[in-house]
Amino acid sequence: MTEKKHSNELTHTDNRLISLKIEKPKNLKNDVLSGLTVALALIPEAIAFSFVCGVNPQVGLYAAFMMGLITAVIGGRPGMISGATGAVAIIFAPLIAKMVANGKEAGLSSDAIMGDALGYLFAAVILMGLIQILFGALKLGKFIRLVPHPVMLGFVNGLAIIIFNAQLSQFTVNGEILANTPLMIMCALIALTMAIGVFLPKLTKAVPGTLVSIVVVSTIGYVLNKTNPGSVRTVLDFVQDNDATITSIAAGLPTFAIPNIPFSFEAFKMILPYAVLAAAVGLIESLMTLSLIDELTETRGHGNKECIGQGVANIVNGFFGGMGGCAMIGQSMINIHGGGRGRTSGISAAIFLLMFLLFGSAMIEIIPLAALVGVMFLVVIGTFEWSSLRLHGKIPLSDIVVITSVSIITVFADLAIAVLIGIIMSALVFAWDHGKTMHAKRKTQDNKTIYSLHGPLFFCSVTSFKEIFDFNSDEEHVVIDFEHSRVWDHSGIEALQNITDRYQQYGKKLHLLNLSKECAQLLERADGIVELSVIEDLEWHIADDSLA
C-alpha cells in the first residue's frame, strides 16, 4: 500500500496545511482491480448497516450498488466511492422502529408491518435525494471549500477511529469475545492480511496488495474451515449472527416500485425531518470526503455536481428498494490507495458487487471476516493523520484544540455536529484574533487631528488602541470618532480614560464623538474632554460590574 507523504512543515502560515498527497498513476487496470477490492469491502459494511437500520441485508446491498454506480457516473469526484453508510442508517433507523411499533399496535401481520415501514423509508430516501439536488442546483456545494484545515484534520482522525472501532465487533459473537482458538486464528489472519497489503506493493504494483491479501487469506480460511469447521468466521457467519433465518446473501436485480405510502400531508410530515437530516449528514460526509480526496490526489472535484449526483442516486434508491447512502471514506481510501483514480473504479466496484449478488454469493459468503478487518485496519493506518500528533508547538494552540475537539465529537457524537462545531470554533478564533487589533484613519483638518477608529475596544485590543495616538505631535484639538468602533467592557473604558488623561497632560483638548450612553456614563473623570458626543438611540451595552 502506498504510504502518504507527509510534510512536517506548514506550507502557509494562515492555512496551516499539511501535505496529504498520494501519488499513483491513473489507468484502467488500476481502476478495475481497485474496484474489485472495494466491492469485496463494501459487502460486510452494507450488510451491517442494513441491520443497524432494521431492514433486510438486500436493502443495504442494493443501496451500495446503486449509490456506487450512479455517483461514479454523474458525481463530481472521480475515485470517490459511495454506498450504504452508517451515518444515514442511524438516521432512518428510528423511522423504521416507529413504523414497526405502529404496525404492531394496529395488529398487522409481520409482512404488512415491514411493507409499510419500507414504504416510508423509501419515500424518505426519495425526499432526501430531492433536497440534495436542490442544494446542488443552488450551487451551495462550493461552501465546503471554506471548511478550515484543522476541521478537516479532526474529521479525518475521527473517522479513522470510528472505522477502527467498527471492526472490533467482529471479534465478538452475541456480545462475547471469541473463544481462544478462533480468536488466535482471526488475529493471525488479520496480521497476514496487513503484512501482504503493506509489503507486496514494495515488490510489485501490478495488482493491489489488498486484493491479493483477501484472496490469499480467503484460501487459507477455506482450508481451515474444511479441516476444522467453524474455526474461521466468514461473511455468512456475520449475517447469521444478526438473523439466523438468512441462509444466503444472494439477490436478484433491483426492481422499480413506487413506495407504499399514503399520499397525504401527515405522511409527508412523518418523513420530512428524517429526510432533511439525512440529506444534510449525507452531503457533509460526501463533501468532506471529496475535499480529502482532492488533497490526496492534488486534483479538484466539483462539490455542486457531487450534490446532484448524490441526490439522483438517492432518488433511484427510493424507487428501486435501496436504503440510500452517501460517500464512504473507508472504501474511498481503499480505492485511492489501490490506484483507483477514474470513474471506472467506482463503476467497476458497483458492477462487481452486483455480480457477486447475482452469481457469486457462495464465493463471497466464505470470505473470512479477518481478511476484511485487516483491510480496514490498513485503511485506518492510512487515513489517520499521524503528522497531526507532531504539530504541538508548530501551529497555534487554538488549531490543536479544534483538531482534537472535532476528532472527539466525531467519535462520540455525530459527524455533522462535529464539523459544524469545528467551523464555529474556527470562526470564533478567527474573529477573536482579528478583534484584538484596532486601527484608525488619522488626518489633520482645520488645526484638528482626527482619528476615525475601526474595530472593537475591549480587553484584548487595549494595547493596540493605546499605540494608535501620537500625543506629542497631534494638533491642539484631537477628535476621536467612534462611529465605526465600539467600547465593549471595563478595560476599554479604562483605556479610554487613560488616553484622556494623557492628552490632558500634553495640554491638548479632546473631543470624543459617537459614544454610547453607557460609555459616556462610565467616563468618570471627564475634565480633559471638551466635547462628548453621544448617540442617543445607540443601545450598545458594556460589560461592567457597575452596570450589571
pLDDT for residue 539: 63
155 in a structural domain: yes
| Span 332-354, average pLDDT | 93
Nearest-angstrom CA–CA distance, 301 and 113: 42
Q: What is the pLDDT of residues 98-115, one digit of tens each?
A: 999 999 998 989 889 999
Q: What is the pLDDT of residues 183-199, one digit of tens each?
A: 999 999 999 999 999 99
pLDDT for residue 155: 85
403 in a structural domain: no
Instruction: Decide if pLDDT at 416 tops 90.
Output: no
Q: Calculate the dihedral angle through the C-alpha atoms of 219, 220, 221, 222, rounding to the nearest 10 degrees.
A: 50
> Regarding predicted confidence, which is higher, 174 or 63?
63
Question: Residue 441 belongs to what H/E stretch?
Answer: strand 439-445
pLDDT for residue 526: 59
Nearest-angstrom CA–CA distance, 523 and 383: 57
426 in a structural domain: no
pLDDT for residue 540: 66
Same domain, 441 and 382: no
pLDDT for residue 524: 63
- Computed on alpha carbons and rounded to an integer, the radius of gyration of the chain in Å comes to 30
> Regarding predicted confidence, which is higher, 528 or 53?
53
Same domain, 375 and 491: no
One DSSP character per residue, 406-420 reads HHHHHHHS-HHHHHH
Q: Which residues pair with 511 in a beta bridge?
A: 479, 531
pLDDT for residue 21: 52
244 in a structural domain: yes
pLDDT band at 19 (very low <50, low <70, confident <90, very high): very low
pLDDT band at 535 (very low <50, low <70, confident <90, very high): confident
Nearest-angstrom CA–CA distance, 435 and 458: 9
pLDDT band at 322 (very low <50, low <70, confident <90, very high): very high
Domain that residue 254 falls in: 28-389
Nearest-angstrom CA–CA distance, 306 and 227: 49
pLDDT for residue 465: 92
Same domain, 448 and 361: no
Same domain, 251 and 121: yes
Query: pTM score, two decimals?
Result: 0.74
The gap between the terminal CA atoms of the chain, to the nearest Å, is 62
96 in a structural domain: yes
Average pLDDT across the chain, whole number: 87
197 in a structural domain: yes
Nearest-angstrom CA–CA distance, 9 and 239: 46
Residue 176 φ/ψ region, left for φ over 0, alpha for ψ in the -120 to 50 degree band, beta for the rest: beta
pLDDT for residue 163: 82
353 with 36: CB under 8 angstroms?
Answer: no
**Last residue within a domain, chosen from 368, 389, 410:** 389
40 in a structural domain: yes
Please tell me the total count of domains within the chain.
2
Nearest to 62 by CA among 318, 335, 342: 318
Domain containing 493 — which CATH number?
Answer: 3.30.750.24
| Span 430-451, average pLDDT | 86
220 in a structural domain: yes
Q: What is the pLDDT of residues 354-406, one digit of tens each?
A: 999 999 999 999 999 999 999 889 888 888 888 888 887 788 888 899 999 99
DSSP 8-class letter at 445: E
- Per-residue burial over 201-238, b = 16 or more CB atoms within 10 Å of its CB, e = otherwise: beeeeebbbbbbbbbbbbebbeebbeeeeebbbbbbbb
Q: What is the pLDDT of residues 210-264, one digit of tens each?
A: 899 999 999 999 999 999 999 999 999 989 988 888 889 999 999 999 999 999 9
Instruction: Decide if pLDDT at 5 tops 50.
Output: no
Same domain, 368 and 226: yes
Which stretches of 75-208 are DSSP H helices?
A: 86-105, 110-137, 149-168, 180-203
Q: Which of 77-91, 200-214, 239-253, 428-442 has the lowest mean pLDDT?
A: 428-442
* Phi, psi dihedral angles at 428 (to 5 degrees): -65, -40
> Taking each helix axis from N to C terminus, what angle separates 343-358 and 329-337, rounded to the nearest 10 degrees?
110
